[in-house]
Amino acid sequence: MKLKGYVIQNDSKFQRAVYGSPNGHGEMSGGVGEKATEGEKLAAYDRLGGLILSGGRKIKSGSFWDFKKKKRVEKPKPVLQIRVDGELFEYPEGKELPLEVKAKETLDKRRKDKKREEVANKKKNREEKEAKAKK
């Protein structure tokens, strides 16, 4: 699901942010409601610690909900969190990412593509062997 261009990863957490959770009487309470703006829904989801992605990159928790003031951030300035060699780096969204980050993401994509290709080849070989065995 997308809100304001951001990907919401956890649907059940999003449902709680919007509709609330059952209270002791079995009634739903605590959600922002269906009529809330996308910004309000995003802030409520962030408040619950929901994973928010932008362009496949994690947005830092608290970018849309101010935990100190206990209210929605009116003008959010999302921060990307990117892990490189086990170290976590933070960059303001929209700023040019350092070459090291781009290189790491390129290598990660190549590794995923290679792994996907290996799995597809194994499946193809297995299917070919099964077809020959049937003949």
Indicate whether 98 pLDDT > 90.
no
Measure the CA–CA gap between 105 and 47, rounded to whole angstroms.
Answer: 28
**Which of 2-11, 19-28, 45-54, 58-67 is predicted least confidently?**
19-28
| Arithmetic mean of pLDDT over the chain | 91
Tell me how far apart the alpha carbons of residues 100 and 84 are, in angstroms, rounded to a whole number: 8
Domain parsing of the chain, residue ranges: 2-94, 98-135
Q: What is the pTM (predicted TM-score) of this model? A: 0.75
pLDDT at 112: 93
User: For residues 73 and 26, is the Cβ–Cβ distance under 8 A?
Assistant: no
Alpha helices by DSSP H, the chain: 11-19, 38-47, 99-134
Phi, psi dihedrals of residue 62, rounded to the nearest 5°: 95, 0
Give the phi and the psi of residue 129 in degrees, each rounded to 5: -65, -40
- pLDDT beyond 90 at 8: yes
